[in-house]
Structure 1
Amino acid sequence: MPGIDLPMVNYKEILRLNSLGIKNTQIASSCNCSRTTVINALKRAEECNLYWENARNLSDEELSKRIISGNKSSVTYQMPDYEYVHHELSKKGVTLGLLWLEYCDQCRESGLIPYKHTQFYKYYRDFVHKTKATMHLEHKPGEIMEVDWAGQKVSITDTDTGETVKVSIFVSVLPYSGYAYVEGFLSQNQENWTKAHVNSYRYFGGVTKILVPDNLKTGVIKNSNHETIINRSYLELAEHYETAIIPARPYSPKDKATVEKSVNIVSTWILAALRNQDFLSLRELNEAIHEKLDDFNKKEFQKREGSRASCFEEEKEYLLPLPEKPYEAAIWKTATVQYNYHVTVENRNYSCPYEFIRHKVDVRLTGNMVEIFYKGKRIATHPRIYGIKSRYSTIEEHMPPNHQKYVKWDGDRFQKWARSIGPETYKVVNSFLTSCRVEEQGYKSCMTLLNLEDKYSPKGLEEACKRALTITERPSLKSIQVILRSKKNKLLIDESEDDAVPSSQYAFIRGPDYYREGDD
């Protein structure tokens, strides 16, 4: 039986991002934890010989237990003097790499333990941000893709109604080369946000190590100095493309200077050039945008040689390869497993193992599949149901053992069996099947009735059903069981219809309505 849900560090995501070469500071920002937590988690994982390659198939809970159980005593490192580091960096020819080597030599001479270069760089960036010191940002090829929606929208005309429809413009840019991708969408919802990223990666022919979005709800649920929460669907997209999401800090335009500049240039170069054209469809608009986009990327720089396209020829060799299949947009929902071991999502019902009854689970919906997860571990998969509402998708292995015997029976088979017993039994079975909102809900009563045949004989069952139908048009299973147990049904076959006393003759005799109310 599953235990109680407990919050835990996302060790799996930390290992995944570390395998991509993402810096610890950025991992901490993406995983909503402190840099110290990231450092300790990676160290514990290394001590346990756990890496992304051999941990990706473990559940979050299992991975957490292995890492925590393998925890050893912490090691104290020597903190560098970053005021000295920052001062030395202002001198010609001095780099952070050189200062790190000097710092390591000093620690060894003093018998102290130095930080590795990734932590050394991380702490220096923290120092720069904290003290408001300026630092030159040099973009590396293939490292970052920045994305945003342009503030300006374009209008198209609906040919059916003649109304004007506003189109949002998505922009993605590679800061190293300035190479951009632009596309129009009818809304800024989650589906279009995801599709825009997939199309961007396809256009660039590869993936960057880091993805820098603005703080839109479709991508980032919360981003503050103390907490970063990434939209789950967006995080799933990043995992599919093996990239890391590092949102721009709120109120820090320097974090997205390249994309902000590119958005302005796109608005001037592409959108302004299309301002006098009329478009009758989104497809027509995007064809015009992509034509202008090609000119934009090939346009020569004013202050240096080459163009965005020529710079991109150098950069694309550093991009990560695309996965075999593009990401399929998914919707995540939370549901509680009901007593019938099903979860209800969009008015359709999907089964999961009965052990998870009353537990909250996460449900992932794509165009074709429905997956159910508990604590990050997938416990059920179904084809997605469309069409009629309230339909059920049930897997036999998810049922309790005493329910599995009903699987091979259906309404037609129960009715066929009832006809073999007699017309009165058939009426009762038909009543069980039609009195419920969903036919399957009557299967249990039908199966119990079928089992009574072996205990009381077919003739006895038929007589009991006949007697029950004289009391009410919709007899309950309990009333038939009571008649059979009383053993009086043997005498009913000899009773003549003339001897039957109408129930309305005596005031103290309960009528059919009374028994109908008890038929639950």
Structure 2
Amino acid sequence: MIHYRKILELYHDKISLRGIASSTGNSRPKVTEVIERAKKKGLRCPLEEEMTDQWIEEFLFPEKTMEGSGRQPLNFDYIHEELAKPNVTLSLLHHEYEAECRANEKIPYSYRSFARHYSNYADKYKATLRIRRKPAEIMEVDWAGSTAFIVDRDTGEKVKAYVFVATLPCSQLSYAEATLSMDLHSWITVHNHAFEYFGGVTQIIVPDNLKTGVTKHTLKELILNPTYREMADYYNTVVMPARVRSPKDKGNVEGAVGVISTWIIAALRNTQCFSIDELNEEVWIKLEEFNQRPFTRKKGCRLSAFEEEEKFALSTLPITPYKMSKWNNVKVRPDYHVSVESMFYSVPYEYINREVEVRLTDDLVEVYFNHMRIASHKRLYGKFGQLSSIHDHMPDNHKLFVDQTPEAANEWAESIGPSTLNVVQYILDASQTEKLAVQSIFSLKKSERRYSKYEIERACKMIISMTKRPTVKGIQTILKNNKKNDAEQELKRKTEINKNSYGFTRGAAYYGGKLNDE
């Protein structure tokens, strides 16, 4: 029998390897192996009374207890590491273990024995048992049943504060934060803070069926609050609420809630805080003490278990945290605008009288129809009744009306020519009202349907040469006369061409006659 305990105690007393080997009757290579394995496993002196030679042997060399059976030893460290990987299960590892045994002509353990040995190993030597929970797979969240309090400075009245709890089942690391409300904004905010505290995101979030996060949950249908669903999509995770009246579905957070109610809420019962920030400072101090309390049956604590066996598996956080958004169902008004907090935002006119969803953030308003975004506006602040209208959302007749401005008139005239621009500017300056002037100019603009830009420019040049007070009606008359004159001249030109052109004249021989000289 190797004297494991004596070897470690002598090494702790700084006895040389030669002296330890001579004292225990073991070879120096064996003494070195025991000391190196103890360093690797974190076993150090002083040793507790229950750590006998047999206990130390099972701890340092668990495979030795299986050698006598003639079966292939199990590599527990390898099994524990592989179970942390996505989609790897104990049954898959047992199948690979059986294949290895057949290749080495060894007898494999049955699956039941395989699982039992790993469970015993993890219970004794590891902070987590991965046969039950994978690292970074689930984050369970809930509100604590007990409440904390802050004191109103003016009245001395106690104001309730609700404590949010998030727990990682694998390492049992927890996060807690107090808020003055359990509304949607608080619910999303504490989720953001929990992700920041853990330094990453789990694959699944398991909440209770509170109405803040879950709209409807039956055997056939699950409808999440749109904001909560959007937050989960932003962090690339999935929300899977616990079944109704099934607390075992989130047993870890239920247990953590009870413990935190004792070690945080009850511990602060005599502490007076005058703001929610002061209360949270005290809560987080108690939280650190809670997460660093040693386990009773194994080495380490919640924080060390998280850092060693779970932190590496968390998904990376986005650069910026999720920004809170609010969703509303509204009906598009006849003026193709939706009303959001007494401000009005346009949507394409085809959606008049349709029910749409509006997503509202601090600086953006987005409108969705059948999960498809149909409009996006910068959010308006200030005086009620402001309009945000997009030109492309209007019907054609509305676009035409809106486009009738002095600026648009000048822009059109510049595209025709300098004479047209002079006429337009004169009409704008000479007219009694801007509206009448613009209407007159745009009636001239309609002439583009019948006349070319050259013809309009020519008519404007002619009217400027005739009078110092050009009118649209005069220009339209000139356009008609010019068109008529151009047509008459074109007809005259063609007639003259026909008169001056002669066809081929057949001779007498063609008709059977004889020439005179014959």
- Short-chain TM bin: 0.5 to 0.7
Give 1:317's aligned residue.
312
Give 1:218's aligned residue.
212
Q: Tell me the alpha carbon deviations over residues 450-483 of structure 1, each in whole angstroms, 9 at most, x when there is no partner.
A: 5268879xxxxxxxxxxxxxxxxxxxxxxxxxxx
Give 1:366's aligned residue.
361
Tell me the distance in 1 between the aligned counterparts of 2:242 and 2:378.
38
Give 1:156's aligned residue.
150
Give 2:198's aligned residue.
204
Tell me the distance in 2 between the aligned counterparts of 1:361 and 1:159.
45
Q: Tell me the alpha carbon deviations over residues 169-215 of structure 1, each in whole angstroms, 9 at most, x when there is no partner.
A: 00001000010111011100000000010110011010000000001
Closer/same/farther in 2, CA of residues 452 and 231 from structure 1, 3 Å limit = same
Tell me the distance in 1 between the aligned counterparts of 2:200 and 2:140.
14
433, 439, 442: which one aligns with 1:451: 439
Give 2:291's aligned residue.
297
Matched, 1:227 2:221: yes
Give 1:193's aligned residue.
187
Closer/same/farther in 2, CA of residues 291 and 230 from structure 1, 3 Å limit = same
Matched, 1:353 2:348: yes
Matched, 1:421 2:431: yes
Give 1:387's aligned residue.
382
Length, aligned pairs only:
306
Residue type of the partner of 2:198? F
Residue type of the partner of 1:325? T
Query: What is the SS of the residue equivalent to 2:145?
Result: coil
313, 330, 355: which one aligns with 1:335: 330
Q: Tell me the alpha carbon deviations over residues 143-189 of structure 1, each in whole angstroms, 9 at most, x when there is no partner.
A: 00000000111111122443321111000010000101110111000
| Same amino acid, percent of matched pairs | 44
Contact 2:90/2:131, CA 8 A, preserved across alignment: no
Closer/same/farther in 2, CA of residues 164 and 412 from structure 1, 3 Å limit = farther
Closer/same/farther in 2, CA of residues 149 and 420 from structure 1, 3 Å limit = farther
Tell me the distance in 1 between the aligned counterparts of 2:353 and 2:290.
56
Tell me the distance in 1 between the aligned counterparts of 2:429 and 2:285.
72
Shift of 1:411: 12
Shift of 1:367: 0.8
Query: What is the SS of the residue equivalent to 1:329?
Result: coil
Shift of 1:224: 2.3
TM-score by length of 2: 0.55
Which consecutive unaligned segments of at least 5 residues does structure 1 have? 1-93, 102-135, 427-445, 457-520
Query: What is the SS of the residue equivalent to 1:372?
Result: strand
The 5-angstrom pairing of residues 40-189 of structure 1 reads 96-97=91-92, 138-189=132-183
Residue type of the partner of 2:226? R
Farther off after superposition, 166-175 or 137-146: 137-146
Shift of 1:373: 1.0
Matched, 1:263 2:273: no
Closer/same/farther in 2, CA of residues 337 and 182 from structure 1, 3 Å limit = same
Shift of 1:408: 5.6
Residue type of the partner of 1:349? F
Query: What is the SS of the residue equivalent to 1:142?
Result: coil
Q: Tell me the alpha carbon deviations over residues 304-356 of structure 1, each in whole angstroms, 9 at most, x when there is no partner.
A: 21100011002010001111221111111112222211111111110112222
Shift of 1:142: 0.5
Q: Tell me the alpha carbon deviations over residues 108-139 of structure 1, each in whole angstroms, 9 at most, x when there is no partner.
A: xxxxxxxxxxxxxxxxxxxxxxxxxxxx9701
Query: What is the SS of the residue equivalent to 1:304?
Result: coil
Tell me the distance in 2 between the aligned counterparts of 1:452 and 1:411.
11
Query: What is the SS of the residue equivalent to 1:218?
Result: coil
Query: What is the SS of the residue equivalent to 1:214?
Result: coil
Contact 2:324/2:361, CA 8 A, preserved across alignment: yes
Shift of 1:375: 1.3
Closer/same/farther in 2, CA of residues 412 and 252 from structure 1, 3 Å limit = same
Tell me the distance in 2 between the aligned counterparts of 1:454 and 1:342.
28
Q: Tell me the alpha carbon deviations over residues 64-118 of structure 1, each in whole angstroms, 9 at most, x when there is no partner.
A: xxxxxxxxxxxxxxxxxxxxxxxxxxxxxx96548999xxxxxxxxxxxxxxxxx
Tell me the distance in 2 between the aligned counterparts of 1:345 and 1:418.
39
Which consecutive unaligned segments of at least 5 residues does structure 2 have? 1-88, 97-129, 410-424, 445-518
Contact 2:405/2:438, CA 8 A, preserved across alignment: no
What is the root-mean-square deviation of aligned Cα atoms in Å? 3.0
Shift of 1:405: 3.7
Closer/same/farther in 2, CA of residues 455 and 371 from structure 1, 3 Å limit = closer
| Larger Cα-atom Rg | 2
Contact 2:404/2:439, CA 8 A, preserved across alignment: no
Give 2:44's aligned residue.
none
Closer/same/farther in 2, CA of residues 346 and 301 from structure 1, 3 Å limit = same
